Amino acid sequence: MARYELVKRSVALITLTNPPVNALSSAVRHAIAKSMEHALNDPKVTAVVIYGENGRFCGGADIREFAGPLRGPPLVPLLDAIEAGEKPVVAAIEGVALGGGFELALVCHYRIAHFKARLGLPEVTLGILPAAGGTQRLPRLIGIPAALELITTGRHISAQEALKLGIVDQVTEQNACEVAVEFALRAVAKPLSSRRVSTLTTPCPPDLDALLEAVTMQVKKKARGAMAPLACVQAVRAAATMPYSKGIKRESELMATLFNSGQARALQYCFFAQRTAGKWTLPSGAQWNNSKPREIRRAAVIGLGTMGRGIVVSLARVGISVIAVESEKKLLETGKQMVIGMLERDAKRQGVSASLNLLKFTLSLQDLKDVDIVIEAVFEDMALKKHVFQELSKVCRPATLLCSNTSGLDVDALAGVTDRPHLVVGMHFFSPAHVMKLLEVVCGPRSSSETIATAMSLGKRMGKVSVAVGNCPGFVGNRMLKPYLDQATFLLEEGATPEQIDKALEDFGFAMGVFRMSDLAGLDVGWRVRKESGLTGPDIDPKNPPRRRQGHRYCPIPDMVCEQGRFGQKTGRGWYMYDSPGGTNAKSDPLIQNLLEMYRSRYGIQPRNISDQEIIERCLFALANEGFRILEDGIAARPEDIDVIYLFGYGFPRHRGGPMFYASMVGLERVLERLEHYHQAHPDVPHLEPSPLLKKLVACGSPPVQNWREHIKTMHSHL
């Protein structure tokens, strides 16, 4: 777990050997402790270099060990001992120095970083804080404001930024280990006292209290209920106001409150769920590690609306040449200007020149003869999409992959109109596509494993979190959204307001409540889907729209809002009112309050007080219930996939872990009991009827979410 060798006759080189990221597992900590003891006691050794094998210094504590009791030497005394040693220790940082790995580097007397290395204290993203002295040493080294920013955000920084901040002593383009050994030899004669960071005095700004207060407010606003960022501020405050010996105790107390919290468990679950999602598998046995993706060099995007533009930018950013197609000259020109503007702003931010030479704009599908992949992003209309796919089938070479950015239409129906159904797959990006990290890769029954592997790997290359899902209306994300939205509108009927429901959801931690989110997405989208599915249309009496349709409860309020031309932010009016079309500042609209009052009185509904608890339970348990059905139907392979979709595509609070993890934290028995209760009260809402899988899991003793898979016997896996 760590190799010890003597180099240049007097330098002890300790190399961490715990692939893939040299995490500080108990065995690694043990090996470091033994190696350091050896080095300090061996008279031949005059200096020490700590390095990580395979070009990775250290990815921090072994997160998998957090679930069990602490074994092996604890990190704090181990690191304190390294710092206190009388022989100079140099960290040779290549790849990453993160979390405990960064803290290990901070106790070394010198730090040499490779120019491509990245450093950071991402503990806050795992619901904890840098509790191996990180919150006490970093402020002493770089001052309170910079340390606060790094510790409360968990941001990774480049070696160059680390040098500027004074975290590393040298950045090199050569082998960091070799440079560190030479550096160590030169350091032997120098005094160490000023190199022990814990002994430094924290440089404090004169307005410390005001600064901490301002950061606390800022962090509170951003954290949306997460505890760790606030604890980080308190720990840094200790570094500013206490000697190291007391500060480290404060750090440890704060860590104790976080370490066993539900939030820490949720955030650590998210870390692993995100990595699990990449490991797709099909019933045929094809999976992520046995299916080779094709290389993609040239892509085409059809449609330069909001989605298409974002997809073009995402492809060009990673060096893929893109042909963008529109049907009319004016649309093409507008799209072109927008794409170029986005890429130029991007490049300016990064201080590089925009890769505009990768782009071609055309009105002709004939230009797509030689591309490797086409991503269709035209209007969400099946007939139009089928027409495009038929044309592509004629124009593109037989090996070209044909993908649709549909948000819910039948991918197999599109495959069916082509001459290559095995090369057709859904690539459902989320708006705006150059910003949002989620990509649902929709596997049709005829999509080949190579096609799926290619779409998944292309997504990863574009920096997306790609999740393989089955083909059904709405796939995973939008299918689950329906019961969630339905509950919100039923609650409106019963007496709640959009503001009340949004506030309850935002207090829960959502980035945006359901009505604000709908206003942002555009209310006309759902209205069109409802019309297409026959739920609403010209046959409906506008004065007296029925509240039961297709055998179930139906809330006509969203249609009534749309009938008034209120399509959300883009029209300046929706569930809220905005300063102007396109405005983002949502204000309560008395017209909506009137509409709700008139509606309730027309149908004789006595409004009642609805608690925040009922809002959360009805919206989120209905959401999770649909998730259970999706698992039963084999549309998602694992609960982790569903959670990742909601975390990255729908603003579900990360410290709650995603809808399925949240349900498991509440307790499946309780979720079942509440769903039964609400279903009894609303028997005409099928989404509130507990799913058989939920009942089965409860009957099996409510196993942890990671074990649900064993209980999911899918009759017809769609993956």
Ligand X SMILES: CCC/C=C/C(=O)SCCNC(=O)CCNC(=O)[C@H](O)C(C)(C)COP(=O)([O-])OP(=O)([O-])OC[C@H]1O[C@@H](n2cnc3c(N)ncnc32)[C@H](O)[C@@H]1OP(=O)([O-])[O-]
Nearer to ligand X, 319 or 463 (CB): 463
Q: Which is nearer to ligand X, 17 or 431 (CB)?
A: 17
Name which position in 98, 301, 311, 561 contacts ligand X (CB under 6 A): 98
Is there binding between residue 83 and ligand X (CB under 6 A)? no
Is residue 186 a contact partner of residue 473, using CB atoms and an 8 Å limit? no
Residue 59 is a binding residue for ligand X (CB under 6 A): yes
Which of the stretches 93-101, 136-144, 378-386, 483-491 binds ligand X when contact is defined by CB under 6 A?
Answer: 93-101
Q: Which is nearer to ligand X, 264 or 312 (CB)?
A: 264
Query: What residue type is assigned to position 163 of the chain?
Result: L
Residue (279 or 670) nearer to ligand X, CB: 279
Cα–Cα distance measured from residue 385 to residue 399, given in angstroms and rounded to the nearest whole number: 20
Helices (H) and strands (E) in the chain, counts: 27, 19
The pair of structure tokens assigned to 113 is 């970083």
**What tokens does 106 get?**
């901070």
Q: Considering beta carbons, is residue 67 or 352 the nearer one to ligand X? A: 67
Shortest spacing between CB 599 and ligand X, in angstroms: 50
DSSP state of 324: E
Is residue 523 a contact residue for ligand X (CB under 6 A)?
no
Please, which residue, 247 or 558, has the CB nearer to ligand X? 247
User: In 3-state terms, what secondary structure has residue 114?
Assistant: strand
Report the candidate in 7, 152, 199, 198 with the shortest Cα–Cα distance to residue 92.
Answer: 7
Residue number with CB closer to ligand X (122 or 421): 122
| Total residues in contact with ligand X, by rule CB under 6 A | 22
Site for ligand X (CB under 6 A): which residue of 11, 28, 131, 144?
131
Q: Is 462 in the site for ligand X (CB under 6 A)?
A: no
Alpha-carbon torsion (195, 160, 438, 341), positive or negative: positive
**Is residue 107 part of the contact set for ligand X (CB under 6 A)?**
no
Q: Which of 13, 16, 23, 480 binds ligand X (CB under 6 A)?
A: 23
Nearer to ligand X, 468 or 557 (CB): 468
**Interface map 364-403 toward ligand X (x if CB under 6 A):** ----------------------------------------
83, 94, 123, 251: which is the annotated catalytic residue? 123
Return the percent helix, strand and coil in the chain, to nearest 5: 50, 15, 35
Per-residue exposure over 382-395, b if at least 16 CB sit within 10 Å of its own CB, e if not: eeebbebbebbbeb
Q: Which string of x and - marks every residue 256-275 that binds ligand X (by CB under 6 A)?
A: ----------------x--x
Query: Which residue, 667, 680, 675, is CA-closest to 691?
Result: 675
Work out how close the CB of 74 gets to ligand X at its nearest, in angstroms, rounded to a whole number. Answer: 8
Contact with ligand X (CB under 6 A): which of 50, 78, 96, 302? 96
Residue 320, Cβ neighbours under 10 Å: how many? Answer: 21
**Token output for 187:** 């350091």
Taking CB under 6 A as the criterion, the residue among 123, 519, 617, 633 binding ligand X is 123
Nearer to ligand X, 99 or 498 (CB): 99
* Smallest separation, CB 463 to ligand X (Å): 11
Examine residue 235 and tell whether it contacts ligand X (CB under 6 A). Answer: no
> Using the rule CB under 6 A, which residue among 99, 421, 444, 657 binds ligand X?
99
CA distance 247 to 347: 42
Is residue 145 reached through a cis peptide bond, with omega within 30 degrees of 0 on the bond before it?
Answer: no
Please tell me whether the peptide bond between 432 and the residue prior to it is cis, using omega within 30 degrees of 0: yes
Question: What is the smallest separation between the CB atom of 273 and ligand X, expressed in angstroms?
Answer: 10
Query: Does residue 124 belong to the site contacting ligand X (CB under 6 A)?
Result: no
The nearest distance, CB 157 to ligand X, in angstroms, is 13
Q: Exposed, middle or buried, 151 (CB in 10 Å: 0-12/13-18/19+)?
A: buried
Is residue 134 within 8 A of residue 92, CB to CB? The reply is no
Site for ligand X contains 61 (CB under 6 A): yes
In the stretch 657-676, what mask flags binding to ligand X with x, by CB under 6 A?
--------------------
Interaction between residue 60 and ligand X (CB under 6 A)? yes
Q: 3-class DSSP state for residue 437?
A: coil
Provide the edge-to-edge strand list for the sheet that holds 96-98. 96-98, 118-120, 156-158
Q: Looking at beta carbons only, is 75 or 312 nearer to ligand X? A: 75
Q: Are 572 and 580 in contact (CB under 8 A)?
A: yes
Among 13, 49, 50, 75, binds ligand X (CB under 6 A): 75
The reply on whether position 132 binds ligand X by CB under 6 A is: yes
126 scored as a contact of ligand X (CB under 6 A): yes
Closest contact distance (angstroms) between CB of 470 and ligand X is 23
Does 71 interact with ligand X (rule: CB under 6 A)? no
Q: How many angstroms separate the CA atoms of 440 and 444, rounded?
A: 12
For helices 144-153 and 208-223, give the axis angle rounded to 10 degrees: 10
Categorise residue 60: left if φ over 0, alpha if ψ from -120 to 50, beta otherwise. left
Ramachandran assignment for 409, one of left (phi > 0), alpha (psi -120 to 50 degrees), beta (any other): beta
Binding region for ligand X (CB under 6 A) out of 54-62, 331-339, 524-532, 686-694: 54-62
Question: Nearer Cβ to ligand X, position 2 or 23?
Answer: 23
Does 376 participate in catalysis according to the annotation? no
Question: Which of these ranges, 91-99, 104-112, 298-306, 672-680, lies near ligand X under the rule CB under 6 A?
Answer: 91-99
Q: Which of 9, 20, 351, 383 binds ligand X (CB under 6 A)?
A: 20
Q: Nearest-CB residue to ligand X?
A: 99
Asked about 65 being catalytic, the answer comes back as: no
Q: Is 456 in the site for ligand X (CB under 6 A)?
A: no
Cα(415)–Cα(669) distance, integer angstroms = 42
Member of 52, 85, 88, 100 binding ligand X (CB under 6 A): 100
Among residues 83, 94, 103, 614, which one is catalytic?
103
The crossing angle, in degrees rounded to 10, of helices 612-632 and 477-494 is: 150
Task: Please give the single-letter amino acid code of residue 206.
Answer: P
CA–CA distance, 240 with 234 (Å, rounded to integer): 10
Pairing assessment for the beta strands 438-443 and 465-470 based on DSSP bridges? parallel
CA 577, CA 579: separation in Å to the nearest integer? 7
Burial of 398 (0-12, 13-18, 19+ CB in 10 A): exposed
Chain residues binding ligand X by CB under 6 A are 20-21, 23, 59-64, 75, 96, 98-100, 122-123, 126, 130-132, 272, 275
State the catalytic residues.
Answer: 103, 123
